[in-house]
Amino acid sequence: MTPFPGRSAASAGPAHAHSVDRLLTRRLDEALARPAAQQPCWPDPERASAVIERLRHAEPIVAPDETARLSEQLASVARGEAFLLQGGDCAETFVDNTETHLRANLRILSQMATVLTSATGVPVVEIARMAGQYAKPRSAVVDASGLPVYRGDIINSTEPTPTARTPDPQRMLRARAHAADAMDMVRRIRAGAAHISHEMLLLDYERAGLWADACGPGTRLTSGLAHFLWIGERTRQLDGAHVAVAELIANPIGLKLGPSVTPELAVEYVERLDPHCTPGRLTLVSRMGHHLVRDVLPPIVEKVTASGHQVVWQCDPMHGNTRQSANGFKTRHVDHVVDELAGFFEVHRGLGTHPGGIHVEVTGEDVTECLGGASGTAERDLPARYRTACDPRLNADQSLELARFVAELLTT
Residue nearer to Mn ion on the CB measure, 2 or 325: 325
SS3 annotation, the chain = CEECCCCHHHHHCCHHHHHHHHHHHHHHHHHHHCCCCCCCCCCCHHHHHHHHHHHHCCCCCCCHHHHHHHHHHHHHHHCCCCEEEEEECCCCCCCCCCHHHHHHHHHHHHHHHHHHHHHHCCCEEEEEECCCCCCCCCCCCECCCCCECCCCCCCCCCCCCHHHHCCCCHHHHHHHHHHHHHHHHHHHHHCCCCCEEEECCCHHHHHCCEEECCCCCCCCEEECCCCEEEECHHHCCCCCHHHHHHHHECCCEEEEECCCCCHHHHHHHHHHHCCCCCCCCEEEEECCCCCCHHHHHHHHHHHHHHCCCCCEEEECCCCCCCEECCCCCEECEHHHHHHHHHHHHHHHHHHCCCCCEEEEEECCCCCCCCEECCCCECHHHCCCCCCCCCCCCECHHHHHHHHHHHHHHHHC
**Is 234 labelled a binding residue?**
yes
Instruction: Between 28 and 85, name the residue whose CB sits nearer to ligand PEP.
Output: 85
* Chain centroid offset of residue 262 CA: 22
User: Quick one: what does residue 137 bind among ligand PEP, Mn ion, none, with the CB cut-off 5 to 8 Å set by partner type?
Assistant: ligand PEP
Which residues partner with 84 through β-bridges?
Answer: 125, 357
CB of 314 to ligand PEP, least distance (A): 11
**Shortest spacing between CB 204 and ligand PEP, in angstroms:** 19
Q: Could you tell me the smallest distance in angstroms from the CB atom of residue 231 to ligand PEP?
A: 8
Which does residue 204 bind out of ligand PEP, Mn ion, none, counting CB within 5 to 8 angstroms by kind?
A: none
Using the minimum distance from each CB to Mn ion, give the nearer residue, 109 or 248.
Answer: 109
Q: Which residues bind ligand PEP (CB under 6 A)?
A: 90, 137, 199, 232-234, 256, 287, 316, 319, 391
Please state the closest distance from residue 185 (CB atom) to Mn ion, in A.
22
Residue 361 annotated as binding site: yes
90 annotated to a ligand binding site: yes
Q: Does the annotation flag 408 for ligand binding?
A: no
Least distance from Mn ion to the Cβ atom of residue 319, Å: 6
Identity of the residue, 287 or 333, whose beta carbon is nearer to ligand PEP in the bound complex: 287
Answer yes or no: are the C-beta atoms of 81 and 356 closer than 8 Å. no
Considering the complex, state which of residue 64 and residue 240 has its C-beta at the smaller distance from ligand PEP: 240
Nearer to Mn ion, 149 or 410 (CB): 149
What's the closest the beta carbon of residue 182 comes to ligand PEP, in angstroms?
Answer: 17
Cβ closest to Mn ion, residue 90 vs residue 200: 90
CA–CA separation, 264 and 20 (whole Å): 33
**Among Mn ion, ligand PEP, none, residue 287 binds (CB under 5-8 Å by kind):** ligand PEP
Say which entry of Mn ion, ligand PEP, none residue 232 contacts (CB below 5 to 8 A, set by partner kind): ligand PEP
**Residue placing its CB nearer to ligand PEP in the complex, 287 or 348:** 287
Closest contact distance (angstroms) between CB of 121 and ligand PEP is 29
In 3D, which of 166, 330, 322, 135 has the Cα closest to residue 230? 135
Was 319 annotated as part of a binding site? yes
Nearer to Mn ion, 70 or 394 (CB): 394
CA 213 to CA 219: how far, in whole Å? 7
> Where along the sequence are the contacts to Mn ion (CB under 5 A)?
90, 391
| Binding partner of 256, given ligand PEP, Mn ion, none, CB within 5-8 angstroms per partner class | ligand PEP
Q: What Rg value do the Cα atoms of the chain yield, rounded?
A: 21
**From the CB of 257, what's the least distance to Mn ion, in Å?**
15
- Can you tell me the distance from the alpha carbon of 382 to that of 367, in angstroms, rounded to the nearest whole number? 9
The answer to whether 136 is a known ligand-binding residue is no
Q: Quick one: residue 186, left, alpha or beta (phi over 0 = left, psi -120 to 50 = alpha)?
A: alpha
Query: 316 labelled as ligand-binding?
Result: no
Name the minimum Å distance from CB 243 to Mn ion: 20
Does 220 carry a binding-site annotation? no
Which does residue 233 bind out of Mn ion, ligand PEP, none, counting CB within 5 to 8 angstroms by kind?
ligand PEP
Mark the binding-site residues, compressed into ranges: 90, 129, 233-234, 256, 287, 319, 361, 391
Mark the binding-site residues for phosphoenolpyruvate, compressed into ranges: 129, 233-234, 256, 287
Mark the binding-site residues for Mn(2+), compressed into ranges: 90, 319, 361, 391
